[in-house]
Structure 1
Amino acid sequence: MDIKKEHNHCEVIISVACGPRWDYHCHTRTNQWWIRKKVGIIEASFISFAIGTLALLFIVLFAGNGNISAVATVPKWQLIGGLLGAIYVIVIILVIPQIGVAPALVGVIAGQILIGAVIDHFGLFGGVRIPLDAKKVAGICLLFVSLYLINHK
């Protein structure tokens, strides 16, 4: 399945608008030294996930309209997202105090864009097939140039 040539740019605007939230989120998570000092890095990550889980529980209870019990019918590999999210949080907590928020996020974004482009190109995991072209490859290369420039001293 190929993606439509025309699409609503609203999704792009919303995704860009979410970017600053991640900067704030990463900065506050790593700079809450009083939580990390009192309970530990991994424990602080657990607390963060627990608060997020409670927030999602209330959203599901009051605004959800899906069928949460259908999760038992999906392929089990599709449930790995929670584990990968936990790994991401721990890595961010460990890396940001060493290199800063901007370099850490550029690294994360570069990795996500690279893997995302591969997933899109081949339509992996049942996704929409969006072939790579020269402009996308150039954009990915420029992203890695920015990763170098942001981390170069």
Structure 2
Amino acid sequence: MLAAVLGIGIGVSLAAQTAINSQLRKFTVSPFLASMISFIVAAVFLAITTIISGSPLGLSLNLFSSQPIWIWFGGFCGVIGLTTNILLFPKLGSVQTSVMPILGMVVMGMLIDHFGWFNSMEHSFGINRIFGVFLVLLGVFLAVVVQEVMSRRHSFVTTKENKVNQWPWRFVGIGAGMLMSIQAAINGQLGIVLNSPFQAAFVSFFIGSITLIIVVGLKERSYGNIKEPIKQSAPWWVWIGGIIGGLYVLINVYLVGQIGTGQTVVIALFGQIAGSLLVQQFGLLKSVKNRIVPIQILGLIIMLGGVILIKLF
């Protein structure tokens, strides 16, 4: 029960982080710079929590020779997944940019559980878990896709060429979602190796921060806009997206070690979609207000049924 509450809680918090970071991007202009700020804030926050927990910030040199190289790639996976979503939006639109990574996350999470990849605990596929995954994906379709498609049906215009060209981007989106599940599995294993979810989360965000600093330097060639939120008197809460992201990864590390990657991904996903609908319903954090409709509630209920099946079996 505690794992389910934590998983849903971090999913809801991730929805809030998305709304917060979208506001930060309005001030920095560059989504890459906004992501860099978020990662750096998270790294500083996790450094403080790691010290308070009694874990060291530094790593033993023996770890680099005794552990597989992939154990350090969690931060890279997170950055690639985030950057890919930024690139997908103008290619696929909001609906497919949401759904394709979700599909990749659920499928890869279940595969990691079934085969025990990245030294994860094994949870073999059974008919109940397969049906649970089907219910989760059906719930996602009802909660995310149907309403958006219906609202845009009359204005949606596309060409045959665009339809053909979208398929490579759809696969890229699925791949980005798979990387997010891989990140969760890697960070969970890193937490076990370091015997500290705090230190593992810090290492992941530190690597991600360095990566984004390099990306912004190469792409934007300037860090000047980092001052814009202060110059324009942005609300104080635009800076806390990184703290929420840090807590998300920290609890993810803990949950993967307790219930496995697949269950962690699915439970957090339910919380994320539920949180996103709440943010839209009330227009929280200056987001666009969009009322929840009955079919979206039905989608959440179906998703919850799928989560319960996966959790129990």
- TM-score of the two chains, using structure 1 as the length reference: 0.84
Sort the Cα spacing of 1:58 and 1:118 in 2 relative to 1 into closer, same or farther, 3 A. same
Aligned to 2:184: 26
Name the aligned partner's letter for residue 80 of structure 1.
I
Aligned to 1:14: 97
* Whole-angstrom distance in 1 between the partners of 2:274 and 2:235: 25
* Whole-angstrom distance in 2 between the partners of 1:8 and 1:28: 29
* Superposition pairs of residues 4-153 of structure 1, within 5 angstroms: 9-15=92-98, 16=100, 17=173, 18-32=176-190, 35-37=193-195, 40-64=196-220, 67-72=225-230, 73-153=233-313
**Aligned residue pairs: how many?**
145
- 121-130 or 139-148: which moved more? 121-130
* Whole-angstrom distance in 1 between the partners of 2:91 and 2:209: 31
Percent identity between the two aligned chains? 25
Aligned to 2:145: none
* Whole-angstrom distance in 2 between the partners of 1:151 and 1:135: 24
Larger Rg: 2
Sort the Cα spacing of 1:34 and 1:117 in 2 relative to 1 into closer, same or farther, 3 A. closer
- TM-score of the two chains, using structure 2 as the length reference: 0.43
* Whole-angstrom distance in 2 between the partners of 1:8 and 1:34: 39
Sort the Cα spacing of 1:8 and 1:60 in 2 relative to 1 into closer, same or farther, 3 A. closer
RMSD (Å) for aligned C-alpha atoms: 2.2
**Offset of 1:32 from its aligned partner?**
3.1
1:5-42 CA-to-partner distances (Å, cap 9, x unmatched) read xx9743433342232111111111112367424xx331
Bigger relative contact order, structure 1 or 2, given CA contacts below 8 A and separation 6+?
2
